[in-house]
Each structure stands twice: as structure tokens, then as C-alpha cells.
Amino acid sequence: MDGEMSFTAMVLMGIGYIILAGIMGIKWGLLYHMTGNIWTGLGDHLFNNTVATNMLHVISLNGADELQIVRIMAAQLISFTFVLAIYVYRSRKKRVNKNVFN
């Protein structure tokens, strides 16, 4: 379905995607650092696209999904928080083990 989006919604979506790209880049970098391969980041991307983007479509009166960026940003922030927590936990665990054996 083709629809029209307001200029304000377009600008907000563009800014949101710039922020989103930064968050995803950091998250995928952390996943690569933890696992040593790019497949984890690709799997994360597939999962998030399936759940956050493709499973739920909302059409406004104008026919466009103007709040799509909000939905995607929320999913990415939850995912980023989860990955960051695991990264910090593993980093602390490595540091403690390193200090114990030295």
C-alpha cells in the first residue's frame, strides 16, 4: 500500500535511522568481539528484522507506517542492553580470572 508521510515524520525517521545505525554498529562490534565471527551479528540482524520490522505493520490514516522507527528503536535498545550486559559480565569474569591466576 502506497502512502504519504509528512515532512516532520520523514525527518524524524531519518534522524532515528542514523542513531539506530550507530547503536547497531556498536552492538555488532560487541558481538564480534565476544564470539570472533560475524555470524552472530548477522543472526542478530535477521532476528531483529523479523521481530521488530516484519511481524508488525501499522498503517496510519495517510497509509504510511510513520511510527515504524519507534518500534525498531525500542527493539534495538532492548537487544543492545542485553548484549551490553553479557559483554560487561564476561569482561568482568575474565578480569577476575586473570587476577586470580597472576
pLDDT exceeds 80 at position 78: yes
Query: Average pLDDT, whole number, for the chain?
Result: 82
**Given phi > 0 = left and psi -120 to 50 = alpha, else beta, which region is 36?**
left
Percent of the chain predicted with pLDDT > 90: 32
Q: Which three cell numbers stand for residue 64?
A: 504510511
**Domain coordinates in residue numbering, the chain:** 7-101
pLDDT reported for residue 59: 64
pLDDT exceeds 70 at position 62: no
pLDDT reported for residue 102: 57
pLDDT reported for residue 89: 93
Rounded CA separation 54/40 (Å) = 20
